[in-house]
C-alpha cells in the first residue's frame, strides 16, 4: 500500500524525465536526418577510366535523382569523352584530361547508356541507372517550443538602451 502511494508521488517526475529524453531523441533525429539529406546531395558518383585505357570504371552505376555523376580522368594515353546515347549529357570533345559533372534532376529516373565516342566500338560503354528520389521524411509535428526566457532580459536591455538614448538626447536640450 505504501509502495503504491510512493510510486504515485514519483510518477510526475518520472514523466517529465521521460519527456526530456523524448525531446532530446526528437532533436537528435531531426539533426541526423538533416545531416543525411545534406550528405546525399553532395555525394557524386565518380566514373573514371581503368588501366586498360578502353573501359569506364565502373561502367555500371546506380544513383538517385538529385545526385550527380562525375567523369574524371587525367593524363590518359588516349583521349576519351562520355556521351549519353539519348543526348542527356555530353562531356564534350574527347580529352586526356576530363572533369565533367552532370546532375540528374528530379524527373530523370531511368536507364542511360553512355559511350566514349572514339572507343565505343572497343566496348568503352556504360550504363547509369537513376532511381526516383526518396520521399521526403514526414514533417515533424511535435516540436516542443522552449519558453523563451530571453524576452525579459531583452526588454530590460532595450529599456536600458532607450533610457540611455533619452538621456543623451535630453542633454543638449537642457543646456
Ligand atoms: Cu575512350
Whichever domain contains 106, its CATH number is 2.60.40.420
What span, in angstroms and rounded, lies between the C-alpha atoms of 54 and 58? 12
Residue 162 lies in a domain: no
pLDDT at 38: 43
| Same domain for 114 and 34 | no
Distance 69 CA to ligand 1 centre (A): 17
Q: What is the mean pLDDT of the chain?
A: 78
| Same domain for 88 and 127 | yes
- Residue 29: pLDDT above 60? no
Distance 4 CA to ligand 1 centre (A): 79
pLDDT at 138: 79
| Same domain for 64 and 9 | no
CB atoms within 10 A of CB 34: 11
DSSP 87: S
Distance 146 CA to ligand 1 centre (A): 60
- 23-27, 78-82, 153-157, 169-173: least confidently modelled range: 23-27
Question: Which DSSP string corresponds to 33-85?
Answer: HHHHHHHHHT-EEEEEE-TTSSSEESSEEEEETT-EEEEEE-S-SS-B--EET
Residue 127: which H helix or E strand, with range? strand 125-131
| Same domain for 48 and 37 | no
What span, in angstroms and rounded, lies between the C-alpha atoms of 174 and 171? 5
Residue 137 lies in a domain: no
Instruction: Identify the band that residue 87 occupies on the pLDDT scale cut at 50, 70 and 90.
Output: very high
What span, in angstroms and rounded, lies between the C-alpha atoms of 22 and 26? 6
| Same domain for 81 and 3 | no
**What is the domain extent for residue 89?**
43-131
Return the percentage of the chain with pLDDT > 70, whole number.
Answer: 55
Instruction: Identify the band that residue 109 occupies on the pLDDT scale cut at 50, 70 and 90.
Output: very high
Domain count, the chain: 2
What span, in angstroms and rounded, lies between the C-alpha atoms of 110 and 132? 8
| Same domain for 61 and 18 | no
* pLDDT tens digits, 114-156: 999 999 999 999 999 999 998 877 777 666 656 555 555 556 5
pTM for this prediction: 0.56
| Same domain for 102 and 24 | no
Amino acid at each position: 500500500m505504501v509502495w503504491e502511494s510512493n510510486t504515485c508521488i514519483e510518477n510526475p517526475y518520472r514523466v517529465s524525465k521521460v519527456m526530456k529524453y523524448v525531446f532530446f531523441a526528437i532533436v537528435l533525429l531531426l539533426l541526423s536526418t538533416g545531416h543525411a539529406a545534406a550528405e546525399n546531395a553532395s555525394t557524386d558518383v565518380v566514373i573514371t577510366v581503368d588501366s586498360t585505357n578502353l573501359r569506364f570504371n565502373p561502367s555500371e552505376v546506380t544513383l538517385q535523382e538529385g545526385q550527380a555523376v562525375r567523369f574524371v580522368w587525367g593524363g590518359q594515353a588516349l583521349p576519351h569523352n562520355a556521351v549519353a546515347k539519348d543526348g542527356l549529357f555530353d562531356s564534350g570533345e574527347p580529352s586526356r584530361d576530363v572533369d565533367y559533372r552532370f546532375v540528374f534532376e528530379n524527373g530523370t529516373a531511368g536507364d542511360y547508356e553512355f559511350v566514349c565516342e572514339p572507343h565505343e566500338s572497343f566496348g568503352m560503354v556504360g550504363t547509369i541507372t537513376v532511381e526516383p528520389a526518396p520521399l521526403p521524411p514526414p514533417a515533424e509535428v511535435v516540436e516542443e517550443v522552449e519558453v523563451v526566457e530571453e524576452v525579459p532580459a531583452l526588454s530590460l536591455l532595450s529599456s536600458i538602451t532607450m533610457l540611455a538614448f533619452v538621456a543623451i538626447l535630453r542633454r543638449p536640450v537642457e543646456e
